[in-house]
Structure 1
Amino acid sequence: MGVFKISNPCPVQLNPDQPISEIIDLLIANKLCFAPVIKDQVLLGILSLATALKWTRSNEPLKNQGKVKDAMQTKIGPYQGGLDGKEGFPEGNCAFSREDSQGNSDGLITFKEAFTNLTQKMTTQNEFNQAILESAPVGIIALNALGEIIFMNKEAYRLLSVDSNIIGKPMKLVFPVSGLTNIIETGLTEFGQKLVVNGRTIISNRSPIILNDNICGAVAIFQDITELENISSQLASVKQLNLELDAIIESSFDGVMITNQEGVGIRINQALARLTGLDATNFEGKLIDDLFVKGIFEYESITIKALREGRTITNVQKVSTTGKEVLVTGNPIFDIEGKVHRVVTNVRDISELQNLKEKLKES
């Protein structure tokens, strides 16, 4: 499998036909606990010093006739335990086969080396996991089953304005209003819990830590939403202003129409609908100049003229649908670059005024 590399290749290689009595002295002389058994460059097994000694004691009359092949261990699987440790170390093995990328054995690795390498890899993985938690843009705090603080990341320290001396202390004493210890008792997950800490608004999600079907603690993930709440408050204020503006526009006895920089209607009030006999669908999302083209307005649109010339225009207009004569004023609104962004048009019914003037002339 090629998972591990042998840091110290074995200096002794055994032949299966060597006498066991010689091997014991050889292993002791080289300070080895085992050696590989190889024939024709093929790994046949391993013989450990402990196994050789045990064999000679068990076979005292034959100890001088015993061969390596009589006592060697032939079942040597490659170590397959990854970082998750699901495979683990085969029981009784003092060494494992090291394989190349094609699955061919090219040496041995000791149990100690395998364990050391696995420990190093797990340490590296733990350090990486720790870095992930520390880099998270949210606060994380964890308690053990006794309600004591066992972990806090950097953001949690910052948001709660505490230092590492808090580790090991009961949560109820440090933050009595947090409610996190209740999670250990209830085993329930809570979302969107809002707290005010150090003048900042914190929103927290909390859940129990479960291991082997048992609650062994609780964890909370929390975030500072103070700025979001400020923005939300500003949006609420803007919404309220819009409602008030709508109410003002609708309460006007004069007709009011708002168009964009392209002369397309955005909204009208009910007074304009009454003066023209046309509802909002004839204005909103439509080119206002089309009303002149369709003959609804007798003269060129005052709105379009104000948009084109970039100044306030006032003139009399005739509405064919109602026969009313109206006084129209178009007021351009400019953006920060000085370009016309909107046109607000005011429409006033002067038919009654004109009729009154005619009566005065006749009298």
Structure 2
Amino acid sequence: MLVKQVMLENPQTLYPWQTLADACEVYRRQGVNCAPVLDSDGRVVGILTVFQVLQALQRGASFDTSVGQVMERDIMTIDEDMHFNEVSNLPIDRLVILNRQGRLAGVLTRIDLINKVHNALEATEYKLAVILQSVHNGIIAVDARGDVCHFNAAAEKLTGIPAVKVLGRPAGPLLKQLGLGQVNPGVDAFLGRFKVGDRVLIIRQSPIQKDEEQVQGFALVLQDISELEDISSQLDSVRNLNKELVGVIQSCYDGIVVIDRQGNIERVNASYGRITGMDSLGEIQGKNVTELASGQHKHLLQIYNEIMSGKSLVNMAVHTEDGEELIFSGSAVVGEGGQVGRIVVNLRDITELNRFKEEAARASAELKELRARRLADGEIIAESPLMRRAVEQALRVATVDSTVLITGPSGVGKERLAKLIHRHSSRADKPFIEINCGAIPESLLESELFGYEKGAFTGAQREGKLGLLEIANGGTVFLDEIGDMPLNLQVKLLRVLQEQVIYRVGGRRPIKLDIRIIAATNKDLKRLIAEKKFREDLYYRLNVVPISIPPLKERREDILPLVTHFLNRFNARHGTKKRLGMETCRLLEGYSWPGNVRELINLVERLVIMCEEEVIEPHHLPGEFMEALGREGWRPQISEIVPLQEAREATEKELIRMALEKYHSLRRAGQVLGISHSTLLRKARQYGLVV
């Protein structure tokens, strides 16, 4: 220990020109009885103690007397890096400590020294006590007077005697209780094996000596050898476990081979023989893998060599002449030194497993086909990639109970998609309740959603009423036009989503629900949030799984399948056999459909009812439809990029063919196309069109 570790660092200092009054103020403020005195260069020139101040005052000095007149100039200074042993015996009450630069570093008084040593002894005694309390063996210490001075926790546990009953008392009764009788304190000996309670202890005695001659007591060390009996019992368990392990290996359906580090085959189970067709396990057991370099067991040598070269796991697929597929898996059993101790080889015949996989793949394909048929059977028409993606998302989310937010313009089929999710969910046999938040008056919406208790308001039914949410319990609630829900009800809906609990209007009793929420809107909810018309926290609660249905104009692949589907439906309903002409199909497919699927359904039904001919041609289309189509302008349907010349010729040929089919007159067709009838005749012959 160095001096700087026990000194008082950065002590309060005085200067020779300060007064004794200044010194007294320093003593009072800092609680010290001395202070080093420094000159103007900061070097130590003396020390002034309280005792010296008192002596000076007795000799007639006043508090105005300077420190320099009274201080002790003959002082002893030492270096802070000196070892404590070098200064501990100096007959000095206080020392001035200097650093390597000769400047004041601290002071060391004998009182400080005593306190530091006392604290160190206490710390050492505490550490020793903690160590003795922590050891596994019981320790009993007896002092020179014959009294018990230490009895650790392990001794309490092993003897069953509380420490408070023996500490500070004569050791005789305790020794007698342990079966020891009288002991010689100066003997270092093994005392023997003793039965204490339900434990078997061995006890050893060691003297406590200050030197070879002076004995200050003795210590007893108690060790519980009951654990050795447990170990013996555990060894028996290990033997039994080994027998069980052998039985498990032999009964395992997979083939198992155990190879030692030298390549000797220690163990082979019956399944290995069954899979490889061995007549007897003795064909390979006890042999070295090098003896099996050829034949059906050669793979054992390959696995052994690869693992011994550094691999920890080796997998190998083998196809036999009989068409079987086998998997060899070898893994290393690493010992404590990090070296391979054994190699365990597992052999599995996966021929049957592959057959099961093929059957499962066929079943999965059939299931997908059935699902596709069900979707095609009027549930949802989805030919475009965008709509297929929306349907796939709906089917995926149907398997869980997450909240879904369906967005898309009016008329795209958000309700049908919500019903699809419900029908394919675990709640399919439970209610599906549709609530149009924009169609119910705000004054009635709360009571419709949550219900009300009897007498809740004027005009309420006497017996009260169940709300739609409560009616849907166990099933699915479809909140259409969620963007139109009033803000005050949005708060209550948020609580339903968070807690699945409602309160009826006028009621105080919470009603626990189990419902799945699907919301839909044709509005921009983020814009409504910015306008403070929709709660942001409700938006994030609803938008767990968002599904967007694009407008019909963005998925034109769906237009004709939808038209055909609803044409067949209305033909069956009205007993007609209407069909669409080719040009009509082109016009329908080129239309932008601002009303989406809803507009398409209405138009198809109108055409089926109003068209008197079997084939629906363009002139049967409503005037407003043709006007809207004209305002939108004609756009060719292009599916791939081709050279411009080829595109021009194809477009020109198609327009001429359409004009001739419609008007049956070169002159009229030429007028519509904006060319002379002679030019039209020449081009028609050029393209091989019959005129």
TM-score normalised per structure 2: 0.29
Partner of 1:225: 225
Partner of 1:122: 121
Tell me if structure 2 keeps the 8 A contact 1:134–1:155.
yes
Partner of 1:162: 161
Compute the displacement of 1:115 (Å). Answer: 3.4
For 2:188 and 2:52, the matched residues in 1 are separated by: 55
Partner of 1:14: 15
Partner of 2:142: 143
Partner of 1:313: none
Tell me if structure 2 keeps the 8 A contact 1:150–1:168.
yes
Partner of 2:36: 36
Consecutive unaligned residues in structure 1, runs of 5 or more = 239-259, 264-285, 288-301, 309-336, 340-363
Greater helix content: 2
142 and 105 in structure 1: CA distance in 2 versus 1, 3 angstrom threshold = same
Tell me if structure 2 keeps the 8 A contact 1:201–1:225.
yes
For 1:234 and 1:26, the matched residues in 2 are separated by: 80
Residues 1:2 and 2:4 aligned together: yes
What's the secondary structure of 1:133's corresponding residue? helix
What's the secondary structure of 1:170's corresponding residue? coil
Partner of 2:648: none
Compute the displacement of 1:27 (Å). Answer: 3.9
Tell me if structure 2 keeps the 8 A contact 1:47–1:73.
no
Partner of 2:105: 106
For 2:283 and 2:66, the matched residues in 1 are separated by: 119
Compute the displacement of 1:91 (Å). Answer: 4.3
What's the secondary structure of 1:183's corresponding residue? coil
For 1:124 and 1:66, the matched residues in 2 are separated by: 40
What's the secondary structure of 1:46's corresponding residue? strand
Partner of 1:71: 72
9 and 306 in structure 1: CA distance in 2 versus 1, 3 angstrom threshold = closer
For 1:95 and 1:41, the matched residues in 2 are separated by: 20
Partner of 1:172: 172
- Farther off after superposition, 145-154 or 67-76: 67-76
What's the secondary structure of 1:205's corresponding residue? strand
Consecutive unaligned residues in structure 2, runs of 5 or more = 239-256, 266-279, 287-343, 347-691
For 1:47 and 1:202, the matched residues in 2 are separated by: 65
For 2:102 and 2:131, the matched residues in 1 are separated by: 35
Partner of 1:47: 48
What's the secondary structure of 1:219's corresponding residue? strand
Compute the displacement of 1:197 (Å). Answer: 0.9
Q: Which amino acid aligns with 1:222?
A: L
For 1:188 and 1:136, the matched residues in 2 are separated by: 23
For 1:148 and 1:5, the matched residues in 2 are separated by: 39
81 and 142 in structure 1: CA distance in 2 versus 1, 3 angstrom threshold = farther
Q: Which amino acid aligns with 1:33?
A: N
What's the secondary structure of 2:168's corresponding residue? coil
180 and 148 in structure 1: CA distance in 2 versus 1, 3 angstrom threshold = farther
For 2:9 and 2:76, the matched residues in 1 are separated by: 23
Compute the displacement of 1:156 (Å). Answer: 0.8
- State how 1:209-358 maps to structure 2 within 5 Å: 209-212=208-211, 213-232=213-232, 304-305=282-283, 307=285
What's the secondary structure of 1:106's corresponding residue? strand
Tell me if structure 1 keeps the 8 A contact 2:9–2:107.
no
What's the secondary structure of 2:14's corresponding residue? coil
Q: Deviations over 1:66-85 (max 9, x none)?
A: 95587334113368898xx8
What's the secondary structure of 2:76's corresponding residue? coil
Tell me if structure 2 keeps the 8 A contact 1:80–1:87.
no
What's the secondary structure of 1:193's corresponding residue? strand
73 and 178 in structure 1: CA distance in 2 versus 1, 3 angstrom threshold = farther
What's the secondary structure of 1:35's corresponding residue? strand
For 1:80 and 1:201, the matched residues in 2 are separated by: 55
Partner of 1:255: none
Compute the displacement of 1:8 (Å). Answer: 8.2
- The alignment's C-alpha RMSD in Å is 4.8
Q: Deviations over 1:311-349 (max 9, x none)?
A: xxxxxxxxxxxxxxxxxxxxxxxxxx9x9xxxxxxxxxx
Partner of 1:360: none
- State how 1:203-214 maps to structure 2 within 5 Å: 203-212=202-211, 213-214=213-214
For 1:232 and 1:101, the matched residues in 2 are separated by: 66
Tell me if structure 1 keeps the 8 A contact 2:23–2:67.
no
For 2:101 and 2:195, the matched residues in 1 are separated by: 61
Tell me if structure 1 keeps the 8 A contact 2:46–2:72.
no
For 2:155 and 2:87, the matched residues in 1 are separated by: 36
Partner of 2:196: 197
Tell me if structure 2 keeps the 8 A contact 1:191–1:204.
yes
Compute the displacement of 1:148 (Å). Answer: 1.4
Tell me if structure 2 keeps the 8 A contact 1:76–1:95.
no
27 and 233 in structure 1: CA distance in 2 versus 1, 3 angstrom threshold = same
What's the secondary structure of 2:173's corresponding residue? helix
What's the secondary structure of 1:77's corresponding residue? strand
Q: Deviations over 1:121-147 (max 9, x none)?
A: 332332222111111111111001122
For 1:80 and 1:195, the matched residues in 2 are separated by: 55
For 2:232 and 2:101, the matched residues in 1 are separated by: 62
Greater strand content: 1
For 2:100 and 2:157, the matched residues in 1 are separated by: 48
Compute the displacement of 1:206 (Å). Answer: 1.3
Higher-Rg member (1/2): 2
Compute the displacement of 1:88 (Å). Answer: 6.6
89 and 43 in structure 1: CA distance in 2 versus 1, 3 angstrom threshold = same
TM-score normalised per structure 1: 0.52
What's the secondary structure of 2:95's corresponding residue? strand
Question: How many pairs were matched up?
Answer: 244
Q: Deviations over 1:281-327 (max 9, x none)?
A: xxxxx99xxxxxxxxxxxxxx8834849xxxxxxxxxxxxxxxxxxx
Tell me if structure 1 keeps the 8 A contact 2:48–2:71.
no
Compute the displacement of 1:117 (Å). Answer: 3.6
Tell me if structure 2 keeps the 8 A contact 1:188–1:207.
yes
What's the secondary structure of 2:215's corresponding residue? strand
Compute the displacement of 1:52 (Å). Answer: 5.6
190 and 235 in structure 1: CA distance in 2 versus 1, 3 angstrom threshold = farther
Q: Which amino acid aligns with 1:152?
A: F
Residues 1:93 and 2:92 aligned together: yes
Identity of aligned residues (%): 21
For 1:157 and 1:101, the matched residues in 2 are separated by: 54
For 1:81 and 1:134, the matched residues in 2 are separated by: 36
110 and 8 in structure 1: CA distance in 2 versus 1, 3 angstrom threshold = farther
Compute the displacement of 1:65 (Å). Answer: 11
What's the secondary structure of 1:216's corresponding residue? strand
Compute the displacement of 1:51 (Å). Answer: 4.2
Tell me if structure 2 keeps the 8 A contact 1:181–1:218.
no
Q: Deviations over 1:197-227 (max 9, x none)?
A: 1121111221111125411110112210112
Partner of 2:518: none
Q: Which amino acid aligns with 1:207?
A: S
